Amino acid sequence: MRFSLFLLGCLFLTGCGGHPVAEVTGKVTYLNQPLEFGKIYFVPVDSSLPPAQGDIEQGVYTLETRGDRKAPIAGVYTGEYRVWISCYPYHQPGWSGNPMIEHDSLIPEKYESVNESGLTATVGRGKNQIDFALEKDASR
C-alpha cells in the first residue's frame, strides 16, 4: 500500500512525460483595474501537454488542468504557454441571463484569440505568480 501511494505521488509531481506540475496563480487587470470576472486559458506550445484554465474573480485566478482526465489537476505542467482571456456578462458569478444570446466582450476581442492576444507565459517548477495587464485596443 505504501509503495502504491508513493507511485501515485510521483506521478502527480512529475506529470505528463516528465513535466512537473506547478501551481499557477496571478492577477488580471484591465485599464489598471482588477478584471472583476472572466476566464483565462493557457494553451501549451508543446502540443503533447493539455491546456489549463481558470476563473477570474476580482482580478485573481488559479489554474487547473483538465486534459483528457475526468478530474481536473490543481496546477499546470511546466513549459511555455500562449494565453487568452475572455470576459462576457455570463462569466459573472450569479449571472442569470441567457448565455445563448450574443453578448459583447467586456474587454478588447484580441485577448480572446490565442493567436492575437500577444499574451504568453513560462511556467516553472514550484509556485508561479503570472500577472497580465490588459489595455484598450488602440486600433479600434
**What cell was used for 125?**
517548477
Residues 6+ apart with CB under 8 A from 2: none
Distance, CA of 59 to CA of 113 (rounded, Å): 20
Contact (CB, 8 A) for 64 and 33: no
Q: How many CB atoms lie within 10 A of CB 118?
A: 11
Distances from the Cα of 122 to the Cα of 5, 80, 95, angstroms: 30, 5, 33
pTM for the whole thing? 0.80
**Looking at 45-131, which runs of residues are DSSP E strands?**
52-57, 60-62, 64-65, 73-74, 76-77, 79-86, 119-123, 127-129
What sign has the CA pseudo-torsion 133, 134, 138, 139?
positive
* Average pLDDT value for residue range 60-78: 83
Show the cell assigned to 115.
493567436
Q: What are phi and psi of 61, to 5 degrees?
A: -135, 155
In this prediction, residue 138 carries a pLDDT of 55
pLDDT higher than 50, residue 69: yes
| pLDDT score at 106 | 87
Position 6 scores a pLDDT of 35
